Amino acid sequence: MMLARVADSLYWIGRYIERAEHLCRISEVMLTATLDDNESATEVARIALAAIGDHEESEEILTPVEQVRNLLFDRDDLGSVGASLSRARENARQVRDQITTETWERLNILYLRVTGPYAEQEFAQSASTYLHGIIADLHLFKGAADATMSHGEGWRFLLLGVHLERAQRIARLLDVCFGDHAGPTPMTDHLAQMAVLRMACALEPYLRVYTAEIHPLYVLQYLLFDEDFPRSIRFSTARIQEYLDKLAPRSTVVSRAGPERLAGRLNARLEFADLDETLGASAILGAVVAECSRIHHAVYETFIDYPLEQRLPA
């Protein structure tokens, strides 16, 4: 039992943290890749910008570093890393009584690093060191939360946010590589595929499974269906189902589209998918994005923004 508003905040902390980490990682990979001046670099930059999403083509042509700077510090852009971390912290402040001091301090340090007076200067000195530092700090936050928070209801809402965000983001990344939003030519470039794996933090684990043989089908299979890799979509959907199963029985009213039922269905779809389905990747990727968003709404209806009339004592 916890306040609905608190569950809401914890859920969004999870989402914002995951979003910030994903954006930083894609940015870092893009900056490293574009040090070279070749076709792979162009392809990587296209993928990165497309995966980051809704950035309209700007009038002026920005260098990758400028683009990343905007992505990090642009205060007007609600999708920026700075905005995500500010909002995560703002949410954490509102539930300061619910998270441990250790966890709060990690998040507060991150916030001060990204919004502090020296942030842009540090970034200018070495963009990649800066991004690396932010990602490491985000890991510390997750580690502190894991090690100090009680793994109960609040924790589940936090991680529910993390995994819903992750599943949607990875699905989007795969979509711009292999799905409807892919480039005009099929992706075969070795370096570009390595970069995509890096963007999902998957290169090293992938190599252990498939060796250095990198093939679009394998990349797709790995990031969609792998059972153990924490950034594969199936791993996330399994967690989403697990957390919702634990959260659900506590709710007194079972709504028709209960989030745990939606999560179970999505997870089953990935668990029992035909590998050939990957040939038409866009269908399953589209389904992941759509189902995650339905789960999000169902979570709200069940736990957070429920109609009062249903819950009043008789």
Partner 1 sequence: MQNLRSLDSVDRFRIVETSRASLAPERYRPERFYDEMFAADGTVRPHYAALEERIATLTPAELGERQRTLEQSFLLQGITFTVYGAENTTERIIPTDLLPRIIPSAEWARIESGLTQRLRALNLFLADIYGAQKILADGIVPRDLVLGAPSYRREMRGLYVPHNSYVNVCGSDLIRDGQGEFAVLEDNLRVPSGVSYMLANRDAAKRTFPGTYRAAGVRPVERYPDLLLSTLKSLAGDWRPNPQVVVMTPGVYNSAYYEHAYLARLMGTPLVEGRDLVVHDNMVYMRTTEGLRRVDVIYRRVDDDFIDPLTFRRDSSLGVAGLFNAYRAGNVVIANAPGTGVADDKAVYAFVPEIIRYYLGEDAILPNVETYLCREAAQLDHVLGNLDKLVVKAVGASGGYGMLVGPHATQAERDDFADRLKADPSNYIAQPTIQLSTAPCLVEGAIEPRHVDLRPFILAGQKIVVTPGALTRVALKRGSLVVNSSQGGGSKDTWVLADGEQQP
Q: CA-to-CA distance for 235 and 226, rounded, in angstroms?
A: 7
List residues binding partner 1 (CB under 8 A). 1-7, 90, 93-98, 101, 104-105, 108-109, 112, 153, 157, 247, 250-253, 303-304, 306, 308, 311-313
Provide the angle, in degrees to the nearest 10, between the axes of the packed helices 281-299 and 259-271.
160
Provide the angle, in degrees to the nearest 10, between the axes of the packed helices 153-178 and 39-52.
140
| Choice between 40 and 94, CB closer to partner 1 | 94
Only one residue has tokens 């269906």, namely 225
| Choice between 210 and 300, CB closer to partner 1 | 300
In whole angstroms, the minimum distance from the beta carbon of 42 to partner 1 comes to 39
Strand stretches in 61-168, DSSP E: none
Q: CA-to-CA distance for 136 and 141, rounded, in angstroms?
A: 9
In whole angstroms, the minimum distance from the beta carbon of 308 to partner 1 comes to 6
In whole angstroms, the minimum distance from the beta carbon of 95 to partner 1 comes to 8
In whole angstroms, the minimum distance from the beta carbon of 4 to partner 1 comes to 4
| Choice between 133 and 230, CB closer to partner 1 | 133
List C-alpha distances in Å: 285 to 11, 183, 220, 234, 241: 23, 16, 10, 12, 18
In whole angstroms, the minimum distance from the beta carbon of 11 to partner 1 comes to 10
| Choice between 93 and 294, CB closer to partner 1 | 93
| Choice between 245 and 277, CB closer to partner 1 | 245
Q: CA-to-CA distance for 314 and 310, rounded, in angstroms?
A: 10
Burial (CB < 10 A; 0-12, 13-18, 19+), residue 199, is buried
What does 117-133 look like in DSSP terms, one character per residue? TTHHHHHHH-HHHHHHH
In whole angstroms, the minimum distance from the beta carbon of 21 to partner 1 comes to 21
Sequence-distant (6+) residues with CB within 8 A of 47 are 173, 176, 177, 183, 192, 195, 196, 199
**Pair 289, 266: CB distance under 8 Å:** no
Q: CA-to-CA distance for 21 and 166, rounded, in angstroms?
A: 10
In whole angstroms, the minimum distance from the beta carbon of 9 to partner 1 comes to 10
| Choice between 4 and 136, CB closer to partner 1 | 4
| Choice between 7 and 173, CB closer to partner 1 | 7
